[in-house]
Amino acid sequence: MYSRKVASQLRELETPFYLYDINLLRQTLNSVVSESKKYNYKVHYAIKANYDDHLLSIIREYGLGIDCASANEVRKAIELGFDPKTIVYAGVGKRDKEIRYAIEQNILALNCESIEELQVIDAIAGEMGRRVDVGLRVNPDIDPKTNHCIDTGQADSKFGIAYDEILDNTELIKSLKNINIIGLHLHIGSQIRELHVFENMCNKVNAIVAKLQSHGFSFRMVDVGGGLGINYDVPENEPIPNFASLFAIVHEYLNVGDREVHFEFGRSIVGECGELITRVLFNKTTATGRRLLIVDASMTELIRPMLYGAYHNIENITSQDETRMKYTVVGTACESTDVFDENVSLRKSQRGDLLAIKSAGAYGRSMASQYNLHDLPAAVYSDQLSGK
Ligand code: LLP
């Protein structure tokens, strides 16, 4: 874990902040690029996971496209030099001005999530005198076997168009003259650790593609989303996610002819390279005997534990005391749920010690808020620290 190596350099910095290990990010990008090349798969980075400029500029060097969830994300990607023709944009609720912007920018595909959205995009494209490339985001009804808060592809989910609804509206969709259906899109959920789930996904996609084809749809790409999970429990054991196995499964089971196959990875690209560094402010014990460690970060810097009950491994990176103690690590926000974890075994910790909250590179800083008028968290990058 990177923070442990540079702990002495971090001591004097103002906390809390995100620390990014740029070497690990580069190794992860090398892995995803070399493994995907074997099958000629196209990889987009899901910018919602982390839209930090420095990280994005590195990701761009490796030739990835971008997956966006808002027009502001599309704008950010374009401003940072990503080619619009590598940008896809999904989202259940695109505003008219967002649709207009995406059409103006001539991105690779707007992935549409309802029949009504298709009609609205068709109308807006017509007003603009344009014909626009879209993907149909289908709801595949698959259980991704992950935390329920972050599954997206089950029948009752708000995401994607129900498969039957697409079939029922075949003629209507084909009558929309200003849209060009170039792809099929789906995303079944996030933090998927049971890789056989992707096997089920492929079987489902094969059936959907065959059926849509028999209904007269021809499209050139299939975008199967992201979702590959990371090892939050013991990140040191698996700093780089297993892209090779995922691609091998998709290669074996997906059967979509010579269509391009696209992926949209967020967490698996940036998750492990980031840690939230926070300082111990106070020790105290509740009347019930619970030992609290009060740190200077909170749910405003990293909300995942409080929002989803998500686990992040925590370590005291500066204590020299070998004695281990159990703590409940709490933040500064004025909320009872502002707890990073309970019963955490740490080296004996005192005021001023630094804790690293690991695997926080994805959905950490990008979900930060200013509740209690906290400052937004700063970032420190390994390639800008002396000694690297
Ligand atoms: N594509 C689409 C359409 C998505 O909705 C997402 C994530 C991704 C790709 C990237 O998925 P990933 O490879 O990162 O699993 N805030 C939650 C995760 C929300 C994921 C939202 N969609 C968390 O902190 O766990």
Query: What is the tens place of the pLDDT at every residue in 53-77?
Result: 999 999 999 999 999 999 999 999 9
Atom of ligand 1 nearest to the CA of 363: 24
Pairing of strands 87-90, 109-112: parallel
Buried b (16+ CB within 10 A) or exposed e, 17-50: bbbbbbebbbebbebbeebbeeeebbbbbbbbbb
Rounded Cα distance between 201 and 222, Å, is 12
Q: Which residues on adjacent β-strands are paired with residue 356?
A: 277, 315
Atom of ligand 1 nearest to the CA of 229: 15
CA of 92 to the centre of ligand 1 (A): 14
What is the phi/psi pair of residue 317, to 5°? -95, 0
Q: Write out residues in the chain with pLDDT < 50, as ranges.
A: none
**Quick check: 21 and 235 in contact, CB under 8 A?**
no
The whole-number pLDDT of residue 150 equals 67
- What residues are in contact with ligand 1 under a 6 Å CB criterion? 46, 49, 67, 90, 150, 152, 187, 190-191, 225-228, 264-268, 304, 308, 362-363
Residue in the structure block whose two tokens are 């959907």: 208
CB-CB neighbours of 253 under 10 Å: 16
The whole-number pLDDT of residue 37 equals 98
Q: Is 226 left (phi over 0), alpha (psi -120 to 50) or beta?
A: beta
Buried b (16+ CB within 10 A) or exposed e, 338-356: bbbbeebebbebeeebbbb
User: How many Å is the maximal CA-CA distance in the chain?
Assistant: 71
- State pTM to two decimals: 0.97
CA of 30 to the centre of ligand 1 (A): 21
Query: What is the tens place of the pLDDT at every residue in 113-147?
Result: 999 999 999 999 999 999 999 999 999 888 777 77
Q: Of 190, 268, 303, 369, which is best to mutate to test ligand 1, by the most ligand atoms within 8 angstroms of its C-beta?
A: 190
**Quick check: 280 and 356 in contact, CB under 8 A?**
no
